[in-house]
Structure 1
């Protein structure tokens, strides 16, 4: 071997060693979060809504109609009424979240009268100064002047999909135009989705709530308003990077764009936050096999609990949630995973009140109370009940 050839060989070996050693250390510019091995569906085979609707679905809808709905058509946050108003919604407040979920149920079940009534309510009661308020008290003073982007995106996406089925009424058309105008200018900050925004001063959120990132809706908005195109890639990467670990294949709650880091609240992982992230991904045909396997195992064994330790993966309580099972059923439907949907619905129906003498019959209640979120997410899951 010639001298030049030996030197070249030595140089190649040294470079290989340097690369190997460098790769063993975390770099300041890298996010050290474990990235999941995601898969993409060739097409997202959304499971069809079962028709006619099952008795459990109709019973849940009747409970919501009779026990959680105001005379004017708003969905109460709680079954129990209270005059107390605080930072968190209580009593008979009305949320844009609830009305958006009901609007989605009407679209899925092709109930155009309910869809139109819900749109009329949103336009009449929730939109003030071109802002879709996230919480109100009917016939009372305003308790907020801000809009929640998670609810706006859901309603916007639902209206977009409904337009493919029937002409939108005047209220739905106005809501659609309001959201398509407001979201690009107020709903994002440097491409990052903000949590809330108002008609006045610009929002300066320091963190992004990962569960708020309705990627399907952001994609739809970007197709109509090109100025939001960069937000698609930015927020998709936040979603993909929020995977915690193989030990607990769930998702972080929030992301700090300035630090490039993720965090949970109170040192624990709330299952609803993680399920909403999984749903955001599933609705655009993305999923982590690790997360799905973990979710199926917990549901089949009846051990899907509310909070988990992000370090050990251990459950921190034994509390179950009808909303969690409802969302899990929807994730299965979005991915065409009938096994996941069926097992989630089996667990969900165990919590449905079957006592025909109870005011909670057909619904999902706890400790003499019932909550709109639990019942509406359960209702959206039950539409796939065979």
Structure 2
């Protein structure tokens, strides 16, 4: 009799715990189809893409993830480099695996991605193999990218398990990083604290709009959109502030990293909210090969170097805006960075040949842009 009472108590306790867990994170699996996988037929670059894919698979890709740089570099606490792994890179590779219909490889790589980066409620932004160190903070955009890839795979294969996984990951991420229009740049699972600022490049509206499909979610989506749109710097320099600080209620005056500025434009373009002035400005920079790496908020050039990644994101924007000519012009500039010397260690990659450097961001962004 005592044993029966004990078993009933354990059963009731388990129900209570399960019930609490469900209350903590409410998972809403959207029933409609997303438009995450929509592409054009602009990317006719099979020769360049094959070389690039081969380089990534042979020189950057390992079981746990993708090297940040082909070149080995010493460890630095404040910046990932060398043979460290980023969830950003893994998310982009997962996207590519869906685009290229490599479904078995997707399942296997996502399994490894969870082993490498999973912090239960979010993904670590960075893993250092040499130290077996998983950093306790995420980068919210990287989580959204992985969630997007999961949804893309679920829709491409009809696999409900992966759609549920995408919705569950979104619900957990939302709990720690999103509220009343706010998207924190990161959440620290050790300190149990989110960042005070939110990068405007992290507002992936296409993903947010799809998963925030309840009445309350739609209200938050409108608030999120307002945060980014109010960060517009003006028609004279039609980009957006880098971030918004929720404590000081102000936009940053920090210099703009162009690849992040391009991400902001891409996210707006995906929901048909790209300003005409922004489109025209970007077109001029691509026409003149003057899309530089860093600008002040007044539009002054801070760093005159270029990035293949920035031009690749520009190509995505033009593809989304149905401008084939500008897409192709952007990609022509991107492919200039491809190493074609067969004797080079980074042959086929997007990089700097004499320095033996090839960063995962530039290579993977190019690979995705070629599939737009």
TM range (shorter): 0.7 to 0.9
The match for 1:282 is 269
1:60 aligns with 2:48: no
Aligned counterpart in structure 1 of residue 286 of structure 2, from 274, 295, 299: 299
Q: CA separation in 2, counterparts of 1:152 and 1:342?
A: 30
Query: Please, which moves more after superposition, 140-149 or 242-251?
Result: 140-149
Change (3 A) 1:152 1:92: same
Which residue matches 1:176? 166
1:350 alignment counterpart: 336
Note the 1:257-336 alignment, pairs <5 A. Answer: 257-265=246-254, 268-311=255-298, 313-336=299-322
3-state secondary structure, aligned to 2:301: coil
Mapped contact 1:44–1:285 kept (Cα < 8 A): no
Whether contact under 8 Å (2:69, 2:82) holds in the other structure is yes
Shift of 1:278: 0.3
Q: Could you list the per-position Cα deviations for residues 293-324 of structure 1 after superposition, in whole angstroms to 9, with x for gaps in the alignment?
A: 1111111111111112332x332332110000
Offset of residue 52 of structure 1: 7.5
Please say which structure displays the higher CA radius of gyration.
1
Matched, 1:249 2:238: yes
Which residue in the other structure is 1:77 paired with?
68
Instruction: Answer yes or no: is 1:364 the counterpart of 2:356.
Output: no
What number of residue pairs does the alignment pair up? Answer: 336
The reply to whether residue 146 of structure 1 matches residue 137 of structure 2 is yes
Please, what TM-score do these two structures have when normalized by structure 1?
Answer: 0.80
Residue 136 of structure 1 contacts residue 144 of structure 1 at CA under 8 Å; is this kept in 2? yes
Q: Is the 8 A contact 1:80 1:369 kept in 2?
A: yes
Counterpart-to-counterpart distance in 1, 2:43 and 2:249? 46
Check the 8 A contact 1:300/1:343 in 2, yes or no: yes
Structure 2 length normalisation: TM-score?
A: 0.83
Computed over aligned residues only, the root mean square deviation of the Cα atoms, in angstroms, reads 2.5
**Which residue does the alignment assign to 1:222?**
212
Does 1:232 find its partner at 2:221? yes
The gaps in structure 1 that reach 5 residues or longer are 1-42
> Matched residues in 2 for 1:376 and 1:169: separation?
27
User: For the residues of structure 2 that align with 1:117 and 1:50, how far apart are their CA atoms?
Assistant: 30
CA contact (8 A) 2:44 2:370 kept: no
Structure of higher RCO (CA pairs closer than 8 Å, 6+ residues apart) = 1
Taking the aligned partners of 1:169 and 1:189, their CA distance within structure 2 comes to 28
Judged with a 3 Å threshold, the aligned counterparts in structure 2 of structure 1 residues 174 and 73 are, in CA distance, closer, same or farther, namely farther
Instruction: Measure how far apart 1:179 and its partner are.
Output: 0.8
| Post-superposition offset of 1:110 | 2.4
Please say if residues 56 and 382 of structure 1, whose CA atoms lie closer than 8 Å, have aligned partners that are also in contact.
Answer: no
User: Is 2:110 aligned against 1:126?
Assistant: no
Shift of 1:186: 1.0
Is 1:373 the equivalent of 2:364?
no
